[in-house]
Amino acid sequence: MPDLLWPGDHHAGEILTDAAVLDALLQVESAWSTALGKAGIAPTEAGVTVGALRDLIADDDVEQIAVEAESGGNPVIPLVRRLRDGLGSSTAGTWLHRGLTSQDVVDTALMLCVADGFDAVLVELDAQAGTLVRLAGDHRHTGMVARTLTQHAVPMTFGLKAAQWLHGVLDAREQVASLTFPVQMGGAAGTSAAVAELSGRGADAGPVAMQTGAIAADILGLAPLTPWHSVRTAVTRSGDAAVGCTDAWGHIANDVLALSRPEIGELSEGSGGSSSTMPHKANPVLSVLIRRAALSAPMLGSTLHLAAADAVEERTAGAWHVEWDALRTLVRRTVVAARQTSLLIGELDVHGDRMQANLAGAGASVRSEQESMATIAGHAPGSEYLGATQQYIDAQLDRARRVATEGS
């Protein structure tokens, strides 16, 4: 259900909703039961499909599982109890969840959900890059005033500003594209001792225990990795990528907010928002909402790092638990901001005539640096003062084209 107090939340769809997380938990249990059979640890009939597990969960079970999760501190305990009750004395029921611990299932399920979130973000980043390539190219010669610390500085072009936005978006894309989403399959304390014991291979059981995790990873489409119980890099890197995205989008939103002020009037949102009392207003609502995400993301990311820094022993009390909602909230909000940024720049109105007028109105002040440089060099000031603007624009356009080619 969309969040009434986070306008635009519907853009995130089912990503990391309770229903999506529950389904991911079921996927993990199914993949593990199948992996036990494929590795020769359990009978092949121990494997149970995701569909079969879904059939054991009633529509109102999500809420009840959430309530029951309090007694054990996580939702896996009541979920596994339901599934075993539903499977009864069958081989699948006997072998379900054997060799796993709750942390394995929660961590791996969250990786599944977070991967879905970043798949959606990557689509938007690519769309944004394409839009910004067009804006930078179309406006490479559209003159405007560069502003530093809110004041007029020197001449620039809007094409360069769009290229700088593109620079940030491409940096964010690099972070997202470099993410890996690993399984967590280590058992009670990350030793896989239960799997080794179940295999009956004694001291020679290590390889088959690792193989079982790799098989489950392949089924789930996640990266195989040795257990990482208290090493929270997979979580913090995901958080960092999300914050990197909102940083880049916040920069764009802040520029639009500043340049769309009536007294500047150089940019405006294609479909500005309304006011409940002032009919004349066309508020830059998308920019406001994107900035909102950029301002809230670092705190959520810092919660993930705080939890990682508080890691102790083989499962951290409280710090592991605080990650779940922080990660869910951060990733959902990042997906929302991704979509809103695509809409913002896709519909952005660029008022080149106003940019030129403001540049002309700034008068000689924006040429003062040029005058001083020319005096030092002993020659008359040049006809323009744009330096390597065109080369810097081309550098980002070329980079975007390389990324697009590599991704195709």
- Indicate which residues carry an active-site annotation: 275, 315
58/48 Cα distance (integer angstroms):
18
Q: Which has the closest alpha carbon to 125: 175, 80, 85, 162?
A: 175
337/249 Cα distance (integer angstroms):
8
Q: What is the 3-state secondary structure (H, E, C) of the chain?
A: CCCCCCCCHHHHCCCCCHHHHHHHHHHHHHHHHHHHHHCCCCCHHHCCCHHHHHCCCCCCHHHHHHHHHHHHCCCHHHHHHHHHHHHCCCHHHHHCCCCCCHHHHHHHHHHHHHHHHHHHHHHHHHHHHHHHHHHHHHCCCCEEEEEECCEEEEEEEHHHHHHHHHHHHHHHHHHHHCCCCECCCCCCCCCCHHHHHHHCCHHHCHHHHHHHHHHHHHHHCCECCCCCCCCCHHHHHHHHHHHHHHHHHHHHHHHHHHHCCCCCCCEECCCCECCCCCCCCCECHHHHHHHHHHHHHHHHHHHHHHHHHCCCCCCCCCHHHHHHHHHHHHHHHHHHHHHHHHHHHHCCEECHHHHHHHHHHCHHHHHHHHHHHHHHHCCCCCCCCCCCHHHHHHHHHHHHHHHHHHHC
Distance, CA of 189 to chain centre: 29
